[in-house]
Amino acid sequence: MSPRRRQATLTAISLLLLTIAPAALAHASAADTITVRQQQIDVNPGETNPCTGVSGTIVDDEQDVFHIIALADGTLHLSGHSTVAVTFTPDDPQQVAYEGHETFALSESSGGQTFVITSTTHVRVRGTDGSFITVQETAHLTVTTIGVVSEFDKPTLTCS
Protein backbone atom coordinates (compact mmCIF):
# COMPACT_ATOMS: atom_id res chain seq x y z
CA MET A 1 0.00 0.00 0.00
CA SER A 2 1.35 3.42 -0.84
CA PRO A 3 2.31 5.58 2.16
CA ARG A 4 -0.38 8.16 1.34
CA ARG A 5 -3.07 5.47 1.01
CA ARG A 6 -1.86 3.86 4.28
CA GLN A 7 -1.97 7.22 6.06
CA ALA A 8 -5.46 7.95 4.74
CA THR A 9 -6.66 4.46 5.73
CA LEU A 10 -5.19 4.60 9.22
CA THR A 11 -6.46 8.14 9.73
CA ALA A 12 -9.94 6.97 8.75
CA ILE A 13 -9.63 4.01 11.13
CA SER A 14 -8.45 6.25 13.94
CA LEU A 15 -11.27 8.72 13.36
CA LEU A 16 -13.73 5.83 13.39
CA LEU A 17 -12.22 4.50 16.61
CA LEU A 18 -12.39 7.95 18.18
CA THR A 19 -16.01 8.20 17.07
CA ILE A 20 -17.08 4.83 18.52
CA ALA A 21 -14.87 4.92 21.60
CA PRO A 22 -17.08 7.31 23.60
CA ALA A 23 -20.03 4.94 23.28
CA ALA A 24 -17.89 1.93 24.12
CA LEU A 25 -16.42 3.72 27.11
CA ALA A 26 -19.56 5.55 28.27
CA HIS A 27 -19.23 4.02 31.71
CA ALA A 28 -15.57 4.92 32.09
CA SER A 29 -14.26 5.83 35.47
CA ALA A 30 -11.13 8.00 35.74
CA ALA A 31 -9.70 6.36 32.61
CA ASP A 32 -10.49 3.35 30.49
CA THR A 33 -8.47 1.68 27.75
CA ILE A 34 -9.32 -0.35 24.67
CA THR A 35 -6.64 -2.25 22.74
CA VAL A 36 -7.33 -3.32 19.17
CA ARG A 37 -5.07 -5.83 17.43
CA GLN A 38 -5.45 -6.53 13.74
CA GLN A 39 -3.57 -8.65 11.24
CA GLN A 40 -4.27 -8.47 7.54
CA ILE A 41 -2.80 -8.98 4.12
CA ASP A 42 -3.42 -6.20 1.59
CA VAL A 43 -2.93 -6.91 -2.11
CA ASN A 44 -2.59 -3.73 -4.17
CA PRO A 45 -2.31 -4.29 -7.94
CA GLY A 46 -1.67 -1.36 -10.27
CA GLU A 47 0.92 0.34 -8.04
CA THR A 48 3.92 2.13 -9.53
CA ASN A 49 7.54 1.86 -8.44
CA PRO A 50 8.34 5.51 -7.60
CA CYS A 51 11.97 5.13 -8.67
CA THR A 52 11.55 3.40 -12.04
CA GLY A 53 7.93 3.98 -13.06
CA VAL A 54 7.41 0.21 -13.46
CA SER A 55 3.91 -1.02 -12.57
CA GLY A 56 3.28 -4.01 -10.34
CA THR A 57 1.58 -5.36 -7.26
CA ILE A 58 2.41 -4.43 -3.67
CA VAL A 59 1.54 -6.98 -0.99
CA ASP A 60 1.54 -5.89 2.66
CA ASP A 61 1.47 -8.47 5.46
CA GLU A 62 0.45 -6.12 8.24
CA GLN A 63 0.11 -6.31 12.01
CA ASP A 64 -1.49 -3.35 13.79
CA VAL A 65 -1.97 -2.50 17.45
CA PHE A 66 -4.07 0.49 18.55
CA HIS A 67 -4.68 1.73 22.09
CA ILE A 68 -7.52 4.10 22.94
CA ILE A 69 -7.61 5.80 26.33
CA ALA A 70 -10.77 7.65 27.35
CA LEU A 71 -10.62 9.97 30.31
CA ALA A 72 -13.63 10.89 32.43
CA ASP A 73 -13.52 14.48 31.11
CA GLY A 74 -14.13 13.23 27.55
CA THR A 75 -10.52 13.48 26.39
CA LEU A 76 -9.50 10.66 24.08
CA HIS A 77 -5.97 9.50 23.25
CA LEU A 78 -5.25 7.03 20.48
CA SER A 79 -1.89 5.55 19.63
CA GLY A 80 -1.14 2.90 17.09
CA HIS A 81 1.74 1.06 15.54
CA SER A 82 2.01 -1.14 12.45
CA THR A 83 4.75 -3.45 11.31
CA VAL A 84 4.53 -4.66 7.74
CA ALA A 85 6.39 -7.09 5.51
CA VAL A 86 6.28 -5.50 2.03
CA THR A 87 6.83 -6.99 -1.43
CA PHE A 88 6.64 -5.37 -4.86
CA THR A 89 6.24 -7.76 -7.80
CA PRO A 90 6.52 -6.04 -11.18
CA ASP A 91 3.99 -6.86 -13.88
CA ASP A 92 6.96 -7.53 -16.18
CA PRO A 93 8.99 -10.37 -14.61
CA GLN A 94 12.15 -8.99 -16.31
CA GLN A 95 11.98 -5.92 -14.02
CA VAL A 96 13.32 -5.60 -10.46
CA ALA A 97 11.22 -7.05 -7.62
CA TYR A 98 11.48 -5.63 -4.08
CA GLU A 99 11.09 -7.00 -0.56
CA GLY A 100 11.40 -5.26 2.78
CA HIS A 101 9.78 -3.75 5.82
CA GLU A 102 7.52 -0.87 6.80
CA THR A 103 6.67 0.67 10.17
CA PHE A 104 3.93 3.17 10.84
CA ALA A 105 3.11 5.00 14.07
CA LEU A 106 0.11 7.17 14.86
CA SER A 107 -0.73 9.37 17.83
CA GLU A 108 -3.97 11.31 18.30
CA SER A 109 -5.52 13.34 21.05
CA SER A 110 -8.85 15.07 21.19
CA GLY A 111 -10.43 16.88 24.05
CA GLY A 112 -12.19 20.08 24.72
CA GLN A 113 -11.84 22.00 21.52
CA THR A 114 -8.61 20.60 20.09
CA PHE A 115 -7.76 17.66 17.85
CA VAL A 116 -4.11 16.68 17.24
CA ILE A 117 -2.72 13.88 15.07
CA THR A 118 0.87 12.96 14.23
CA SER A 119 2.02 10.03 12.11
CA THR A 120 5.34 8.63 10.97
CA THR A 121 6.07 6.10 8.24
CA HIS A 122 9.30 4.34 7.30
CA VAL A 123 9.56 1.93 4.36
CA ARG A 124 12.77 0.26 3.18
CA VAL A 125 12.77 -2.38 0.48
CA ARG A 126 15.66 -4.08 -1.33
CA GLY A 127 15.53 -4.94 -5.01
CA THR A 128 16.62 -8.17 -6.65
CA ASP A 129 19.36 -6.08 -8.31
CA GLY A 130 20.67 -4.83 -4.93
CA SER A 131 19.03 -1.39 -5.16
CA PHE A 132 16.99 0.14 -2.32
CA ILE A 133 13.87 2.26 -2.09
CA THR A 134 13.41 4.19 1.16
CA VAL A 135 10.35 6.26 2.01
CA GLN A 136 10.09 8.29 5.19
CA GLU A 137 7.23 10.58 6.15
CA THR A 138 6.18 12.60 9.14
CA ALA A 139 2.81 14.33 9.13
CA HIS A 140 1.05 16.49 11.73
CA LEU A 141 -2.27 18.28 12.05
CA THR A 142 -3.71 20.42 14.84
CA VAL A 143 -7.31 21.63 14.60
CA THR A 144 -9.08 23.94 17.08
CA THR A 145 -12.38 25.79 16.99
CA ILE A 146 -10.73 28.45 14.82
CA GLY A 147 -9.67 25.84 12.25
CA VAL A 148 -6.37 24.26 11.28
CA VAL A 149 -3.63 25.94 13.32
CA SER A 150 -0.71 23.65 12.50
CA GLU A 151 -0.17 21.33 9.58
CA PHE A 152 2.83 19.75 7.86
CA ASP A 153 3.67 16.70 5.80
CA LYS A 154 7.35 15.91 5.21
CA PRO A 155 7.77 12.95 2.86
CA THR A 156 11.17 11.88 1.52
CA LEU A 157 11.96 9.31 -1.15
CA THR A 158 15.41 7.87 -1.70
CA CYS A 159 16.28 5.63 -4.64
CA SER A 160 19.71 4.04 -4.30
pLDDT at position 31 is 86
Phi, psi of 69 (to 5 degrees): -115, 125
Q: Nearest 5 degrees, angle CA 137-CA 142-CA 145?
A: 160
The SS3 call for residue 37 is strand
pLDDT at position 96 is 98
Contact 100, 68 (CB under 8 A): no
SS3 labels along 64-88: EEEEEEEECCCCEEEEEEEEEEEEE
> What is the residue range of 153's domain?
3-159
Q: pLDDT tens digits for the chain (160 residues)?
A: 455 555 555 555 555 555 555 554 445 467 899 999 999 999 999 999 999 999 999 999 999 999 999 998 889 999 999 999 999 999 999 999 999 999 999 999 998 889 999 999 999 999 999 999 999 999 999 999 899 999 999 999 999 9
**What pTM value is reported for the model?**
0.78
Domain count, the chain: 1
pLDDT at position 88 is 98
The SS3 call for residue 95 is coil
Residue 30 is classified by DSSP as S
pLDDT at position 74 is 86
pLDDT at position 25 is 47
